[in-house]
Amino acid sequence: MSASRLDPLASEPGADTEKTCPDRGLKTEDRELRSDRPLSGIRVLDLSRMLTGDYAGMLLGDMGADVIKIEEIDGGDPLRKMPPHFVCGESAYFLSINRNKRSVTLNLKHADGRKVFHELVRHADVVFDNFRPGVLEKLGADWKTLSQLNPRIISCTISSFGEVGPYRELPAFDLTIQALAGAMSVTGEPGRVPVRLGIPMGDLAGSMFAVYSISAALVERQRTGTGRRIEVALLDCLISMLNYMAQYYFTGGQVSGPIGSGHMSVVPYGAFATKDRPITVAIFVEKFWHSLCEVVGLPGMADDPRFHDAAARLKNRDECNRLLQEKFLEKTQDEWIKALWAKEIPSAPILSLDQVFEDPQVLAREMVVNVEHPRCGTLKMVGDPVKLTPKPAPGISPPPMLGQHTAEVLRGLLGYDDARIAELKSKGVVS
């Protein structure tokens, strides 16, 4: 989808967006609307950038934390310029993972910038980053410095490989992590070059483990009164998700390989072609196997010695799948899904993204939401997967523009007046 279809006022970065995008009223987000969420009252200084940091910060913001995204004064988060789609000069990639945050520009390489940051630390609960080892010390944001400024602070760093080990200095991205963690070795079709997971699971795993550990540390601080240092490595996180595949290796020496959409322990399990569009079937429980055989018109297959239980089907995987595939080609996707769901057999159509966001279950779960952006108008975004009871008041603040809240935070949190802010601007500390 082109940027112009996303918004009639869309433009590429570098264009004069002020002329094409009307000011829709920049204003302080109504954070009071988010005061009934679990992390309300928690302030996070987010030094991170790119997907891993941005997604983790968004998860904290969705739970009600006041996430202050501290960005470089010259361009900010590199994802702000990520192609191919832009809405009013704002990258669609950046917009997707930066809601419920405030943006403050601050030059941490300047001595005055570090002083401002240290003042903010005294008013914060969490400092979060995804820098490589050694960077925090240069910026005055290392654990020793932070804990002296604020003994209650929780410091969390996500890095590719962590602070120890021979790879600690190496740069890496999601593809690198998926390769080293073994995830790529089990993804794809047998006999072909391994492929990465379609979604950036290495980055996302690190984000989720970071948020989980930060939340746990906040609970611990209630008991101890002191903060904690947390270190999360993307490689560690993705390896932890190998779970049963790792145990199969430890226990039986089995080195798993790619198996397409199939499963190492379960047959039938995977994608099947139909007369038009593919479906998936997942038979983990024997009762579903008998029902499946009836639905596809092969009732005798259920008790066939080659297929009568999970172990037999695993041994005769290819023949089992071949017989089912022949039957599935006789009807359309819609016909099969109707018949399979009528018997409560675990199955689903394989939906494209345009179908996903029109699916009645997805819409019922409010996984498509409208967010009002001050320059871009109404944006559709993926909703929050966590549902709370009692249900919080609605309130999603849009992804911030670069430095949108600099003056607001410096005035409201640190008590700076206009003269002090102007002085910092003149020195290149804020923009």
Annotated catalytic sites, by residue?
A: 203
Cα(425)–Cα(22) distance, integer angstroms: 25
Task: Decide: 431 and 406 in contact? Cβ < 8 Å.
Answer: yes
Q: Which tokens sit at 208?
A: 């989720």
**Cα 172 from Cα 240, distance rounded (Å):** 18
Residues 428 and 107 sit within 8 Å (Cβ to Cβ): yes
Residue 360 tokens read as 């009645």
How many CA atoms lie within 13 Å of 364's alpha carbon, on the beta-carbon side?
A: 3
* φ, ψ of residue 411 in degrees (nearest 5): -75, -55
Burial class (CB in 10 A: 0-12, 13-18, 19+), 57: buried
Do the strands 43-46 and 101-105 form a parallel or antiparallel pair, or are they unpaired? unpaired
Task: Give the bridge partners for 69, in sequence order.
Answer: 46, 103
Q: Are 197 and 121 in contact (CB under 8 A)?
A: no
Radius of gyration, alpha carbons of the chain: 26
> Parallel, antiparallel, or unpaired for β 377-382 and 126-129?
unpaired
Contacts of 136 (CB under 8 A, 6+ apart): 129, 142, 143, 157
Is residue 176 within 8 A of residue 200, CB to CB? The reply is: no
Helix ranges (H only) for 193-349 are 201-224, 234-240, 243-252, 286-296, 310-315, 317-328, 333-342
Sign of CA dihedral 381, 383, 384, 385: negative
Assess contact for 69 and 103: CB atoms under 8 A. Answer: yes
Say whether the peptide bond before residue 390 is cis (omega within 30 degrees of 0).
Answer: yes
For residue 67, give the H/E element and its range.
strand 66-71
Identity of residue 118: H
Would you say the C-alpha torsion 90, 95, 96, 98 has a positive or negative sign?
positive
Q: Which two tokens stand for residue 8?
A: 């009639």
